Amino acid sequence: MTGRISTRFTEAFGVEHPIIQGGMQWVGRAELTAAVANAGALGFLTALTQPTPDDLRREIERCRSMTDRPFGVNLTILPAINPPPYAEYRQAIIEGGVKIVETAGYKPQEHVDEFKAHGIKVIHKCTAVRHALSAERMGVDAISIDGFECAGHPGEDDIPGLVLIPAAADKVKIPMIASGGFGDARGLVAALALGADGINMGTRFCATVEAPIHRAFKEALVAGDERATNLIFRTYRNTARVAKNAISDRVIAIEAEGKPFEEVAALVKGAKGREGLESGDTDHGIWTAGMVQGIIRDVPTVRELVERIVGEAVEIIGGRLAGAVAREEERI
């Protein structure tokens, strides 16, 4: 690979490549995060994957033993009757010496303030321009803007990245990461052209050698196409994009009958999804996956994937696109 791509994001966050592995429940562990960091991109441990704040402390140390490059921790704040001890997880991150945090979810202001007070850079994940502007006012250092194509929660506006990214870029002043549907060099070049400073990949990083999930799920991502997802919880106004399987098909059928969330709760328990990821049973529970499956063709190492994306992006920018401009100039 020759050439590098430098953006406001790489400069501000001290990483080599404008690529992020975002926080993913059950997947954002030290093995994957350290591999991403060692490849020159920015990886995130997922705080709530760890059962307790002390477990998170140990996972941060385990990751640090595997890389000397920057990595971060994702902290997703969700409204709940009995919420996790977010303040304790936050303190574990601070005491662990982590310098980059990805926040997501519900009213993160107190967490952002505390992280900033300790010199920690914050990237906040958003699904709408209005939310991005709110986070910018909150004082975060960068925005991750999620288009409708993304795995997990795409919000309720249903705006795809081709529109959402430039719409946000027109208004957001701080560095911005494009998320949702990204998995190759073409996506990176497109994101830069749309006004982003880098890309976030979740599903694509799941289909790598180092991803700590069963091989069967990686093979399912290769076999799946862009239609291989389901949107569940639409009727509960908490839309989630997950892999199309027997369980998510059943959830959609129950929702279509107008039944309340209690009727699907047992099917979608996080513990069931985790059991599936470990056992290899892709129909055991729900598991998140994006439409980017349509362009996943293999299961490379993280380093191979990152170097391929950056190398091919440099070639596209300096070759085909530059050549098209040159040819136009010759005609003039």
| Of 5, 130, 123, 26, residue with least CA distance to 70 | 123
The answer to whether residue 254 sits within a structural domain is yes
> Both 193 and 81 in a single domain?
yes
The answer to whether residue 307 sits within a structural domain is no
> Both 41 and 19 in a single domain?
yes
Phi then psi for 238, rounded to 5 degrees?
A: -140, 50
Q: What is the pLDDT along the chain (332 residues), one digit of tens a residue?
A: 467 999 999 999 999 999 999 999 999 999 999 999 999 999 999 999 999 999 999 999 999 999 999 999 999 998 777 899 999 999 999 999 999 999 999 889 999 999 999 999 999 999 999 999 999 999 999 999 999 999 999 999 999 999 999 999 999 999 999 999 999 999 999 999 999 999 999 999 999 999 999 999 999 999 999 999 999 999 999 999 999 999 999 999 999 999 999 999 999 999 999 999 999 999 999 999 999 999 999 999 999 999 999 999 999 999 989 888 866 556 65
The answer to whether residue 283 sits within a structural domain is yes
> Both 31 and 75 in a single domain?
yes
Contact 209, 302 (CB under 8 A): yes
> Both 88 and 192 in a single domain?
yes
One-letter amino acid identity for 19?
Answer: I
> Both 138 and 194 in a single domain?
yes
- Give me the CATH number covering residue 158: 3.20.20.70
> Both 255 and 123 in a single domain?
no
The answer to whether residue 104 sits within a structural domain is yes
pTM: 0.95
The answer to whether residue 303 sits within a structural domain is no
The answer to whether residue 309 sits within a structural domain is no
Looking at 187, 206, 225, the residue that finishes a domain is 206
Q: State which residues form the domain around 128.
A: 8-206
Residue 116 CB neighbour total at 10 angstroms: 16
> Both 41 and 181 in a single domain?
yes
> Both 188 and 59 in a single domain?
yes
Alpha-carbon span 317 to 305, nearest angstrom: 18
SS3 per-residue string spanning 239-283: CEEEECCHHHHHHHHHHHCCCCHHHCCCCCCHHHHHHHHHHCCCC
The answer to whether residue 304 sits within a structural domain is no
The answer to whether residue 332 sits within a structural domain is no
Q: Which helix (H) or strand (E) holds 168?
A: helix 161-169
Looking at 157, 181, 206, the residue that finishes a domain is 206
> Both 50 and 145 in a single domain?
yes
> Both 177 and 44 in a single domain?
yes
- The total of structural domains in the chain comes to 2
> Both 198 and 220 in a single domain?
no
Phi then psi for 239, rounded to 5 degrees?
A: -50, 135
Looking at 153, 175, 206, the residue that finishes a domain is 206
> Both 239 and 106 in a single domain?
no
Burial class (CB in 10 A: 0-12, 13-18, 19+), 300: middle
